Structure 1
Amino acid sequence: MTVRPLRVCVFGDSFVAGVGDPAHRGWVGRVAERALAELPVDLTVYNLGIRRDTSSDVRARWPSEALARFSREYDNRMIVSFGVNDTTLQNGTLRVEPAESESNLAAILDVAASRGWPTLVVGPPPIADEQQNARTAALDERLAALCHAHTVPYLHTFSHLVGATSWMREADRGDGAHPGAQGYTDLADLVCADITAWLGTSADSVGGRV
């Protein structure tokens, strides 16, 4: 069996980086481990999460970081996940307005599509702050609608993790935002099947390799 060389860049914030996980695996490491066990691929996953990054920060840095890791001989994919830092108040104002968050994601998706890099988006999770969660929930729906218009898969996490969940309990016991190992395991459980199925599909069938 031919082993497909698959390279995946995961761009985002501290939740992508796995901040709070004592094993430093986060949801990205857990999903990568399971996907590698299930798929006949030569898989390399680059975790490119940066703490406090907003959608504007990711938009500014992602092209050069992807180009440094991708090659025409690979099946190159991108996973993008941000939003919580966009909805954070700084000096009384949002760090990124919702319309700008949408514009940032649209620009990322358009450039990725033009390069033939299939993209999947993981929505922002909740934190231990009800007021910010209301803003994040609204942004989550806006980003999902944008992805639908771009025919890009969007995986909701907010509605599954908010409430009486391990994610929220660990975030509340920690720094108010980041969970521990169980919270990241629960998020990985939410998205793993969809991400693995997407990675297992040929690039041509998911809009890649133009």
Structure 2
Amino acid sequence: MRPLRFVALGDSLTEGVGDPVGDGWRGWAALLADGIAQGPGECGEFGEPVESLGSVEFTNLAVSGSQTRDVLERQLPAGLALRPDVVSVVIGVNDTLRCTFDIQAVAARLDTVYSAFTDQGAVLLTACLPDPGAMLGLPGALARPLARRQRAVNAVVHALSERHGAVHLHASEGAWLTDRAMWSADRLHPGERGHRQLASRFHALLTARGLATGSAPSPEPEFPVPTTSASLWWLATAGTGWVARRCTDLLPQLLTLAVDEMRHRARGTSARLDLRASAAVSAALTALSAASAAEQRPDVA
């Protein structure tokens, strides 16, 4: 019997940023893989990122900075070729940090990716994610537009996860969001303790469905917490570059959104912005439902 195959798709969160091991990153997905099953395993067949973890073959296809378009166009074909038994698709924050943000396009891409894997029979793992503006501590006028975008992405992920029968983790809420011990210096990525919490929570969901037989990942860190000086140095060098690369094209639009936000607040019409975002989510999901119905409708002679 071949080992169970677990493939992870996504961005820097799944790549493991914030959980350094050696010269690279580990992350929640690798921690989870070690607890999905137990027993003798063997090495994988596809590419160098494969790790032999007991009776699980783990392949991490996640790439820092990825958006839903990257998952659809680059990671999906490689993931399908592996024919995974379990696949995680955790993505969306980088879409909200781009001036090209389009919730209807995000919904369509996620629906395509989810259905491609579930059609193969894979167990699908998804998660809704925290608001990046709040995590960064941005001023209200700048944070609210990002929060609205992340709520829209989360609403889409919730709906599509239910539609495709995914194992869904509510990672956008809970005490862990305000516990600094869970987060790395950049405040956007979990530290080792945070990655372990994500792995443990996914493991609990899989165990409840009878889909995980291995031991739960330990919530306690394996490595010492980085010193304050080391964290500040990372943030001032690599961390600053990371944020700059992902937000440069957003900044002009974000300032425009902030001005619009303040104008609506001054007029007492902020609720219109929330209603507009909700309407966009509803339209995106309705469009997907209509397209699905059209595909299933038999041709009339």
* TM class by smaller structure: 0.7 to 0.9
- Please name the residue that 2:114 is paired with: 109
The one-letter amino acid paired with 2:169 is: L
Equivalence for 1:138: 152
Q: 1:199 to 1:12 in 2, by over 3 A?
A: farther
1:165-204 paired onto structure 2 within 5 Å:
165-166=179-180, 170-171=183-184, 174-197=185-208, 200=211
Report the alpha carbon displacement of residue 53 of structure 1 after superposing the two structures with TM. Answer: 0.4
Q: Which of the pair has more CA radius of gyration? A: 2
- Counterpart among 46, 70, 81 of residue 57 in structure 1: 70
- Give SS of 1:154's match: strand
Unaligned runs of 5+ in 1: 202-210
Q: How many residues align?
A: 188
* Alignment partner of 1:16 out of 10, 14, 22: 14
The whole-number CA distance in structure 2 between the counterparts of 1:65 and 1:12 is: 13
**Residue aligning to 1:97:** 102
- Quick one: which amino acid aligns to residue 106 of structure 1? D
What is residue 207 of structure 1 aligned with on the other side?
none
The list of structure 1 runs, each at least 4 consecutive aligned residues, that deviate by more than 6 angstroms after superposition, is none
Cα deviation digits, residues 154-204 of structure 1 (max 9, x gap)? 22111126642236x634xx2241232112122222222113455727xxx
Instruction: Say which structure is richer in strand.
Output: 1
Counterparts in 2 of 1:133 and 1:184: CA distance versus 1, 3 Å:
farther
* Residue matched to 2:173: 159
Residue 46 of structure 1 pairs with residue 59 of structure 2: yes
Contact 2:10 2:66 in 1 (8 A): yes
1:149 equivalent in structure 2: 163
SS at match of 2:190: coil
Aligned 8 A contact 1:8 1:78 in 2? yes
Kept in 2, the 8 Å contact 1:161–1:187? The answer is no
Alpha-carbon displacement from aligned partner over 1:109-128 (angstroms, at most 9, x marks no partner): 22223333332212224442
- Which structure dedicates a bigger proportion of its chain to helix? 2
Higher relative contact order (CA 8 A, sep 6+): 1
Cα offset, 1:4, TM superposition? 5.9
Q: Name the TM-score, length of structure 1 as normaliser.
A: 0.76
User: What is the TM-score of this pair, normalised by structure 2?
Assistant: 0.55
RMSD: 2.8
Q: 1:30 to 1:126 in 2, by over 3 A?
A: farther
Q: Is residue 161–residue 167 contact of structure 2 (8 Å, CA) maintained in 1?
A: yes
- Is the 1:140–1:156 Cα contact (8 Å) retained in structure 2? no
Q: Distance in 2 between matches of 1:170 and 1:62?
A: 27
Q: 1 CA distance for matches of 2:202 and 2:5?
A: 18
| Cα separation, 1, equivalents of 2:204 and 2:183 | 24
